[in-house]
Chain A
Amino acid sequence: MKCSEFLHELTNYLDGVLDEPTKVELENHLSWCHNCYVVCDTTKKTIEIYRDSQLYELPENLRTRLRSAIMAKCQQYKKRGPESV
């Protein structure tokens, strides 16, 4: 497996959807190619950091305000139809 082939399969590998022979081939490549190992490892970390980051959390007070506004508009829509909102 060449580095470009490894890269082509990286997303499938990280998502755990590779078939067994390709996975074995890829892991064999990773065992000797340091650059691809680093790319694989830091890409995985990238995903984990974003997943755990709690970026753009909705504060509870804003959440309540938004929900009230949404439900009020829904009521308006129900009573007066599409033109009302």
Chain B
Amino acid sequence: MGAIQNKLEGPVTDELTLVQAAKKGDDSAFEELVRRYDRNVFRIAQHITQNREDAEDVVQEAFLKAYSNLAKFQEQSKFYTWLVRIAVNEALMKLRRKKPERTVSLDEDIKTEDDSLPREIADWSPNPEQQYTQAELREILSKTIQGLPPGFRTVFVLRDVEGLSTEETAAALELSVPAVKSRLLRARLQLRERLGRFFQKRENGHAKSEHANSEHGNGGDGNGGDGEQ
């Protein structure tokens, strides 16, 4: 009776195998890594830069940087987290070049007091997204997330769209875990409030506007004057 056969390699092992092969000069292994993560990097880049051409550039630059620095990559973390970190930095650099008048930073201290209490508490329709065509919905979602400061939308995209863990997001952005959590809360609440304008329950064709009670009513939208960080 032979030994129990090895389990099929999971995605994490696969990634490590590919990285090790790529380090030894196997370009097809690196190309497989590109294939695996190009969509994610593109999404993240476009969310940060808000521009498709810039996002295309970021995808190319991030993978090239990963390729040329592969020898330096310590295999203690996931390749994907490392790649995201490179891509986020490239994307932020693009943004800084475009908006030099505004400081684009991820580590700016953000108030975490109760100023993020929502002021708009109106409920949404049961299936709000079905009120709009796919194209309209994308437009709404895109415009809404673009209104967030880069530091907020980056955390939201990594955590909630790309599904990185809080720890991975912290590592990719070189932020502390509490900082990630605080930004994530603010980002989620701001998006919720902004989407509410489109998704609120409608009565007689008009969006229903309920005013918040006093406890919820003092907050503002949590932006607290941060503007674009």
Contacts and interface: CB of A to CB of B under 8 A. Distances in A.
A74 B30 contact: yes
B56 A43 contact: no
A3 B156 CA distance: 23
Contacts, number: 132
Interface of B is mostly: helix
Given A4-B114, A46-B192, A66 B137 contact: no
Contacts of B35: 67
A1 interface: no
A69 to B, nearest CB: 6
Interface in B182-229: 184-185, 188-189, 191-192, 195-196, 199, 212-213, 215-216
Interface string B133-147: 000011001100100
Nearest to B191: A46
A7 B117 contact: yes
A75 interface: yes
Contacts of A85: 64, 68
Contact of B215 (A3, A43, A56, A73): A3
Given A35-B121, A67-B34, A75 B129 contact: no
B152 interface: no
A27 B189 CA distance: 19
A49 B141 contact: yes
A78 B101 CA distance: 38
Interface size class of chain B, counting residues whose CB lies under 8 Å from the partner chain: 35 or more
B39 interface: yes
Given A10-B185, A43-B189, A55 B64 contact: no
B142 A55 contact: yes
B56 A55 contact: no
A67 B46 contact: no
Contacts of A77: 64, 67-68
Chain A interface residue count: which class? 35 or more
Interface of B: 25, 27, 30-31, 34-35, 38-39, 42-43, 46-47, 55-56, 59-60, 63-64, 67-68, 114, 116-118, 121-124, 128-129, 137-138, 141-142, 145, 156, 160-161, 163, 166, 181, 184-185, 188-189, 191-192, 195-196, 199, 212-213, 215-216
27 contacts: A3-B117, A4-B114, A7-B114, A7-B185, A10-B188, A35-B216, A38-B122, A39-B118, A41-B123, A42-B195, A46-B192, A51-B160, A53-B138, A55-B43, A55-B145, A56-B42, A56-B46, A56-B47, A56-B55, A56-B142, A58-B39, A62-B56, A63-B38, A74-B27, A74-B30, A78-B25, A78-B27
